[in-house]
Each structure stands twice: as structure tokens, then as C-alpha cells.
Structure 1
Amino acid sequence: MSGSPVSRIAREEWRLLLRDRVALLGLALLTLLALAASATAWESWRAADAQRARYQAQANQEFEAQPDRHPHRMVHYGHFVFRPLNPLAAFDAGIDAYTGHTLFLEGHRQNSANFGDVRQSSLLLRFGQLTPAFVLQVLAPLLLVFLGHAALARERESGTLRILLAQGVRPGQIVRGKLLALAGAALLALLPAALGLALMGAGAQPVQALALLAGYAAWLLLWAALVVGLSALFTRRRDALLCLLAVWTVAVILVPRLAADTAAAAHVLPTRLESDIAVARDLAALGDSHNPDDPYFADFRKKVLAQYGVARVEDLPVNYKGLLGIEGERMTSELFNRYAQQSFDLQGRQSGFMDAAGIASPLLALRRISMALAGTDLASYRRFLEQGEHYRYTLIQSLNQLQAEKITYADDRNPNRQNRVDRTHWHDVAHFAYQPAAPATVLRSVLPAAATLGAWLVALLALLAWGAHMLRRAPR
């Protein structure tokens, strides 16, 4: 096989590449940039993950160190939980820089995550982070354009294409040889990122790391096919380069930006102020547990008295104020969850629009795959918020239950009586433990995007076949 026309053409292409100082410099710079991106991103991940773990341990310790208190005081004292970083987030930060990672949990409220990195850092962060994903998504295709734009146009321009065809070399063999050579350059560009993935995910998430590597290999192969295919259609290197630069600009810069803006305009999210006003309005309509004449809670009181067979709340075997807290928290949590569901539905529609736009740019499909596998996409963020809310609800209701069972109604209403519970109860609260999605679930979620990326690859391989057909029509 080593002596086949395909391998000989690939070796000759590599020989020309090694003699081109600009090409070697470009490969060297991209390799160094990818290595630097992997090293700095990994170190940043380690520092951020250690910091969040330290803060979480401190929050747990401070909650457990509270003195004897009324349980409702602890409801308003609240608790903090921090989102742990996925190891592969060092490879692709995704939306993590724009979303918060800290939740303050308290009764009667469902707070949003705070302290996103963009709000803590300089405006330069908004222009993108130097991660291995950024290098492979944006810079590696540009390097392939400069390395391979003349692969076949040069042969036409210099007249060597006629010689090759006259010697009996088939057009398909020429195209495959050029593609093999450029795919080798793409492999070199991918190698530093592969080493970074081995460091980041080999121990904790090997399945996701391998899937990420496969996705980016398909991405670079796609560009190699595009570059060689378009080069076969032009008779001058300059024209091929201009066309490929235009394609890169549209596919990598323009379409993703326009798709994001269009998705935001098509499915408008309410502002924070609008949401707060709507929630406050609905909360007021639910009822007021502090108003004895409130229709809902008056009916609730009747049901409780009938359940226990007593005539007055003072005669209940449990603290009625604790029962009010349990019922009020249930009602408000249902309201908060409904608004959260509406918000995530809108964001899901925006994501669906972006997925559909992958037909116009394969970069959108790749980003979907990359962020999902790295655990830095919308689904992972939503998973953290929902688990945090479940933990909050369980925590608050356990404190309300303590009020109902450990403090009498008479003592609760009299500040001069014993209305505190022992501090050991704070130690009974389980610590928050975020559970990421199972690897099989993540892989299933990226199948549509992988199909889009595969369709692009098939289409560009068809372009290669057409380019080979056009070579047959080259003047001899």
C-alpha cells in the first residue's frame, strides 16, 4: 500500500508542506496554543473546583454550627450550595461563564444562581475563553484552509495535473492523496487536545472524553474534505483561498452569531424584573397565612381541625404554625417551579432553534456535542438548579416539620417561653451532593447533533467526489 498512488501523492504533499516555512510555523503556533490552552484551562479548573469545594465545606460547617434556635429562624438563615465543576469543563467552558454557580437556599423564595464568571471578570471574557475547544472550533479550521487551499488548485495552475492524469493516475486517487495529507495535518492539530482530554477525563469520564475526541476528529475531517473539495473546483490558488476564507467566516463567525440573535428574538425571555413582578402578583393571589380571614387558609384550618378531631388550633397535638409553614412552602414552591419550567421551556426552544440552524453551520452541531459531553450546556445547568431546588424544599420542609413537632403552639406564640430546638438537629440535615447525568443519557442527548455533523461530513465527501469528477474534465 505504501507504493500506491494515493500514498505517494500524500507523501509528496507532506514534503511540500515541510518545505513551507509558513505552514510549519502555523502548525507549530497552533500546537503551542492548544497546549497552552489545555494547561491554563486545566489549572483554572483545578483552582475553581477546589475553591467551590472549600466554600461548600465552609457553608456546611457554618450551618451545623448554629446555636439552639427556633426552626423558622433557620428557615430564614438559609444555606449555600455550590455547583461542582465537571472535569471536562476545562476543555469546553460552554455556558458556565455566563451562568451562576452558587445558590442561596431559603424559605419562601427560589433564588437564581449567582456569581457567573463574566460578572466577576473583565469584559475580555465575553469575547471567548482560550480553551482547547475554542482552538479546535475556530483556529484549527482556519489553519487547514491556509495549508490546503492550494492542494489541487496548485496542480491545475502549474500544469502538473495534466501530467498526473497522462501517467494514468486516476482523479479519485489524486483527491484521496491530497485528503490523506491534509487529514494528517488535522491529526497533528488534534493531538494536543487529545492529550488534554486524556488528562481531564480519562479517570473520571472516559466515555465522554472519547466521544469528545471523536466529535472533534469528525469536525477537522469535515474541514479537510471541504478544503480539498473546493480546491478541486478552482484553477487558481488565490480564488480557492478567497472562497474558503469566505466559507470559514460565514460558517464559524456569521451564522452562529446570527442564529443566537435570531433565537433570542424568536423566543424572548422575560426580564428579571418582569418575572419578579409576575411572581409577586401570583404569590399575593395564593393567600396570606398571617390573615385569619384569608379564604384559603381559613378553609385549610377547618380541614386540619377536622383531621385531628378538635375545635381549636390550641388543642392540636402538633404546632399549627408549623403546619402553616409546610402548606405555605408547598404552595409557593409549586408556583416557583411553574415559572422555572416556563423559563426553561423558552430556553429549550432557543436551543432547538440553534440545533436546527446546524443545517447552515456544522459548528453549531459541534458546539452542542461539545458542551453536552463537557457538562457545560443548558441541560447540565438546569439539572443543577433542579437538584438545588429539591434540596432546598426538603431542607425547608424538614425545618417546618421540626417547628410542628418540637415546639408547642402556646410556646411558639410566647417569646418568653421555650421556643428553640436543640442544635443537634442541624447536624441531621444531609449535605448537598450534585449528581451529573449518566454517560448513556448524555450520549443519547447528542445523537441529533451527531447526526447533523455526520450529514455534513457525508455531503462534503460527496463534494470531494464531484471535485474528482471535475478533475477528469481538466484540459490535457
Structure 2
Amino acid sequence: MTAPFGGVRGGRGVRNGGNGGIGGGVLAAIVRAEWRAMLRNRVALAAGVLMLALTLAAILVSHERVRAVDAERERFQHSADEQWQAQPDRHPHRMVHYGQYVFRPLGPLAFFDFGVDPYTGSTLFLEGHRQNSANFSDASQSSLMLRFGQLTPAFVLQTLAPLLIAFLAFGSVARERERGQLRLQLAQGAGAGKLLAGKAAAHAAVAMLLALPAFAALAAIAAAQPAVRAQALLMLAGYALYLLVWAVVAVLASAALPRARDALLALVGCWIVTTILLPRVMPDLAERRHERPSRIETEAAIHARLAALGDSHNPDDPHFRAFREKTLAAYGVARVEDLPVNYGGLVAGEGERLTSALFEEFMREDFERQTAQVAFTHAAAALSPAIALRRLSTALADTNLDAHIRFLSEGERHRYRLVQALNRLHATQIRHQNDRDQRIGGEHWRHTPQFSYPPPDFGAVTRRHAWPALLIFAGWLAALAGAGRVIAGRLERNA
């Protein structure tokens, strides 16, 4: 009689453990038998082909979209810089209010996982005395269908691939138990541990095959973009571990539950809770736990604090009266008209220093609230590998909250440098007499600071996000290995 494992017959040596070569042969035979069973299942085969096609389509669509968006932002940034530098002779303070646009560039891995980018602004308008919020997010310019998720490789692998793995593996052990084949296989000496390991290896290999187009895209980015090579390879490892967790979970559920339909219901329920429910509910709970004031409330609080700081247009204001006396003493003169620089430019610089410090304080407090919300969500990662993977994926793609905060912070620093450079021109290039009627040459605008958006610190990203996620995957695999031993022992006893 042909053995169930593709011609490998059980014997006393195999039943008692045998040597490593025999054990390895049995394991390989289990893997091949599981693959043959899946190949005979036309529904599973069609689903796998569709998943491969969907993954490939997601890569092409999202890569083209990100390429187009990044090119558009670069074109807008170039246009904004040209308009700024082409301004005619003006008073420097008019340029302070003319303002400048800056656009956030996208990284090479942004195509893989859009992260929070569709919901956060990508453009800042920088001007004196004000701190504007980021504008023109995709969510604000698109239909509500955007909230159902965009087709990206990350969405396919995080959400759809686990569901397909569950459908492929839910009957891997349970159906053989129902047909009476499981007892025969164990009696032939395969061993329940090797049986579970072989089936898990077979489904893990299938999961990696389903993700092959996405992994190939990451490998291509790693080869073509040395600056993000480590990020791409680490992202690839994270997704591979995530799919491995799901393959093992599916096989163990099939072995632990008496019927295949029970295993399917349990796996679908697990998928709904860990992949759909928790990632959706946790941010709402985090928002309630760490509430943020509305934009209107923040603006009102800032205006109240600004009124208390002082009014640079009021010569009798206590703060600016003291500033005037300090400035006159520093230059050794008695009147502002006798200063070697324009006092109006000095006052504008002092006012900008005060307001920028206040803006920085409110911005830092808001960042702390948002970071606390994200940390609260990440606390559920131990229960939801999907949350852990999203943490790793968006951090390495530079599309997480940290990236948005870095853009806002760099934009604010650039705004302050730009405005203060103009205030220095006001102080040094404009005479105090007839201040408002004077202009300076347009060539000065070409020498003002330029906006730059530095890449993230890879070491900080891995410490804060990648390693915690990888440790969670390692913990899941260790827990599943322990559960596998228990389930294998029960299978042996029942057999």
C-alpha cells in the first residue's frame, strides 16, 4: 500500500525517531503531500493566482501613484521657489507676509505602505507671525471610499493574505482527522510534531509565494536605492515573519479543533478581531483617552497667550519698552533714530522670536498628545500582529506619524529661519526714516534659506518601531511553538 506521505513508508526506526535523514525525509514528504493536496484544490489554486495578480497590480498602481505624486510635489516646490526668487524689489517685511510654500517629498518605500500620508497634509504655507497647519491631504480631496483602504502592497499582505492563508490551511489537519487519515499517518510513525511542522512549513512556503511579487519589489528597491537598503530588507523580514505567524496559527487551529468548519470559523474570527477590529477600535479609544483640542480652541489659546506676551506695535508695551531700553544701551545711543540699524527690523525679529517660541510650545504639546495616542494603539500589538506590522511598515516606509511630525517641525524651523533672515535684511538694508517707502533689490531673495527635509535616522526608527515589532513576532512564534507541542501531544494520545 502506498504511504500517505508520497511513498515514504513508516518503519520502526521512523516511529522511534530514527536518524536525522529519515526524519528529514518524512518532513519533506509531508510538505510535498500538502502541496499536492492544495494543487488538486482548484478553488485554492484560483485564489492563489488571484492573490498574486492582486499583489502585482497593487505594486504597479501604488508605485505609479507615488511616482506621480512625488514628481508633482517636486514640480510645485520648484515653481514656488522660482516665484519666490523672481519677486521684484520689495520691502523685506512685505516678503514676510508674501510667504512661501513647501511640499513634503516622498521616500523610495512610500509606494509600499502609504501609512498616514493620505490623511495628513503634504503642503505648508509659511509666513511671518503665523503657524499654519499642513493642507491638501488626499482624504480631504477624495471621496469617502478612500477610508475603505487603498490598494497597496501593504494592504494586500496585511489584510488579504492572512485571510487566504486561513482558507488554504483550515482543513490541513482537521479534514484528515474527519476522513480517518490522521490516525493512519500517526500510526506509520511520522509523529504528530513532524506532521504539524511539515504542514506549517508547506503553508508558510505558500504564503511566501503569495508575497513573492511584493518581496521582489522590496529587493529591487534595496538593490537600486542603497540609501534605503536596510529599511527595505528589514521590511521584507517583517512581512515574512507576519505571514509565517499566520501560517502556523492556521495549521495549529486546524489541529486543535475537531472539525474543519470549526477551524475555519475560529480563524475567520481571529482575522476579524486582530486584522480589522483592533486596528480600527484602538485609535478611537486612544483618541478618547488622550483628547486633543480642536484647531479653533488652539488658535484661541494662542491668541490669548500672544496678547499677554506683548504688542510690538505699542511703544508703551512693558516688554518692548524694556527691549528698546536694552537695545539702546547695547549700542550706546539715546534714541532709536541714532541706532546704526533699523529699529523696526529689530522689533520685528524680537516679536517673531516670542511668537515662534509660543508656537513651538503648543506644537510640542500637540505632538505629545498624538504620540501618546499612537503609543496607546501600539500597546495592543501583542494581541494583534497586524498592529505590530503596521508600526514596522509605516516607520520603515517613512509614512508614519513620526514622519509627519518631522515635516511639520522642519517646516516650522525653516519658517523661523526665513522670517528672521528677512527681519535682518529689514534691520540692515532699510533706513529708519521713511521705513515703509523703501525697497531693496530682488537679488536678496535668492540668498534666503532653502527648505530641506532630511531622511529619518535609521537607528532611531529601528529602536523605536522595528525591533519592538520584530520582538512581538518572535514572541508569537515562541508561544505558537509551545502550543504546537501541547497540540502534538494531544494528537499522539488521541491516536
Contact 1:230 1:467 in 2 (8 A): no
| 2:244 alignment partner in structure 1 | 221
- Whether the 8 Å CA contact 1:232–1:467 is kept in 2: the answer is yes
Tell me how far apart the structure 2 counterparts of residues 77 and 202 of structure 1 sit (CA, whole Å): 43
Note if 1:379 corresponds to 2:398: no
Letter in 1 for 2:483: L
User: Residues 195-214 of structure 1 correspond to what in structure 2 (within 5 A)?
Assistant: 195-204=216-225, 205-214=228-237
Q: For the residues of structure 2 that align with 1:400 and 1:420, how far apart are their CA atoms?
A: 13
Tell me how far apart the structure 1 counterparts of residues 449 and 91 of structure 2 sit (CA, whole Å): 19
Q: Is the 8 A contact 2:85 2:446 kept in 1?
A: yes
Residue 319 of structure 2, aligned match among 296, 301, 323? 296
1:18 CA displacement: 0.5
Q: Secondary structure at the match of 2:172?
A: coil
What residue is the counterpart of 2:460 in the other structure? Answer: 441
Is the contact made by 1:137 and 1:363 (CA closer than 8 Å) also made in structure 2? yes
Counterpart in the other structure of 2:139: 118
1:29 equivalent in structure 2: 50
Matches within 5 A, 1:458-473: 458-473=478-493
Question: Could you tell me which of 22, 32, 35 is aligned with 1:11?
Answer: 32
Q: Partner of 1:394 in structure 2?
A: 417
Ranges in structure 1 where 5+ consecutive residues have no aligned partner: none
* Residue equivalent to 2:274: 251
Shift of 1:199: 4.0
Shift, 1:200, TM fit: 4.1
Alignment check: 8 A CA contact 2:414 2:449 kept: no
Write the deviation string for residues 385-435 of structure 1: whole angstroms up to 9, x where unpaired.
11111111111000000000011111315x3xxx11111100112321210
Matched residues in 1 for 2:473 and 2:290: separation? Answer: 25
What is the identity, as a one-letter code, of the residue corresponding to 1:223? W
Alpha-carbon deviations, 1:337-361, whole Å to 9, x = none? 0000000000010111011111221
- 2:288 paired residue number: 265
CA offsets 1:123-173 (integer angstroms, 9 cap, x no match) = 111111100000000000000000000111112111111111211111111
Give the residue type in structure 2 aligned to 1:195: A
Amino acid at match of 1:224: A
Q: Given that residues 91 and 132 in structure 1 are in contact (C-alpha distance below 8 angstroms), is that contact kept between their aligned partners in structure 2? A: yes
Native 8 Å contact 2:80 2:100 kept in 1: yes
Where do 5+ consecutive residues of structure 2 fail to align? 1-20
Note if 1:454 corresponds to 2:474. yes
**Residue aligning to 1:59:** 80
Conserved 8 A contact 1:226-1:463: no
What is the root-mean-square deviation of aligned Cα atoms in Å?
1.2
The answer on whether the counterparts of 2:114 and 2:152 sit within 8 Å (CA) in structure 1 is yes
- 1:82 and 2:103 are equivalent in the alignment: yes
- SS of the equivalent of 1:90 reads coil
Following the alignment from structure 1 to structure 2, what is the Cα–Cα distance between the partners of residues 349 and 79?
32
| Residues 420-473 of structure 1, C-alpha deviations (whole Å, 9 max, x = no match) | 111110011232121011322322222222222221222122222222122112
Partner of 1:432: 451
Q: After superposition, where does 1:277-316 map in structure 2 within 5 Å? A: 277-316=300-339
TM value normalised by structure 1: 0.97
Number of corresponding residues: 471
Moved more, 69-78 or 278-287: 278-287
Using the aligned pairs only, state the percent identity. 52
Query: d(CA) in 2 for partners of 1:78 and 1:262?
Result: 38
In structure 1, distance between residues paired with 2:287 and 2:347: 41
Instruction: Give the superposition deviation at 1:201.
Output: 4.7
**In the alignment, what sits opposite 2:189?**
168
Match of 1:70 in 2: 91
Query: Which segment drifts farther, 103-112 or 191-200?
Result: 191-200
- Give the counterpart letter for 1:10 in structure 2: V
Q: 1:326 aligns with which of 332, 349, 352?
A: 349
Of 374, 377, 388 in structure 2, the residue corresponding to residue 365 of structure 1 is 388
Q: Retained in 1: the 8 A contact 2:282–2:380?
A: yes
Which residue identity lines up with residue 455 of structure 2 in the other structure? P
Q: Is the 8 A contact 1:202 1:209 kept in 2?
A: no
| 1:317 Cα deviation after fit | 0.7
SS at match of 1:88: coil
Whether the aligned pair in 2 keeps the contact of 1:318 and 1:408 (CA below 8 Å) is yes
Task: Indicate the larger mover: 95-104 or 164-173.
Answer: 164-173
2:292 alignment partner, SS class = coil
CA contact (8 A) 1:42 1:200 kept: no
- Of 403, 406, 413, which residue of structure 1 is paired with 2:429? 406
Partner residue, 2:121: 100
Q: Give the whole-Å Cα distance in 2 for the aligned partners of 1:201 and 1:290.
A: 56
Report which structure shows greater RCO (CA 8 Å, sep ≥6).
1
Deviation at 1:198, TM superposition (A): 3.1
SS at match of 1:118: helix
Q: Match of 2:206, SS?
A: helix
Equivalent residue of 2:224, what SS? coil
Aligned equivalents of 1:455, 1:279: Cα separation in 2: 46
Contact 1:79 1:104 in 2 (8 A): yes
Alpha-carbon distance between aligned partners in 2 of 1:30 and 1:98, rounded to the nearest angstrom: 27
For the Cα contact (< 8 Å) 2:221–2:229, is it kept in 1? no
CA contact 1:380–1:436 (8 Å) conserved in 2 = no
Instruction: Give the corresponding residue for 1:421.
Output: 440
Q: 1:469 corresponds to which letter in structure 2?
A: G
Q: 2:14 aligns to what? A: none
Q: Is the 8 A contact 2:346 2:423 kept in 1?
A: yes
Q: Judge which range, 204-213 or 139-148, deviates more.
A: 204-213
Q: Deviations over 1:288-323 (max 9, x none)?
A: 011111111111111111111111111111100000
Match of 1:474 in 2: 494
Q: For residue 438 of structure 1, what is the amino acid of its counterpart?
A: D
**For the residues of structure 1 that align with 2:153 and 2:483, how far apart are their CA atoms?**
29
Equivalent residues of 1:267, 1:346 under 8 A apart: yes
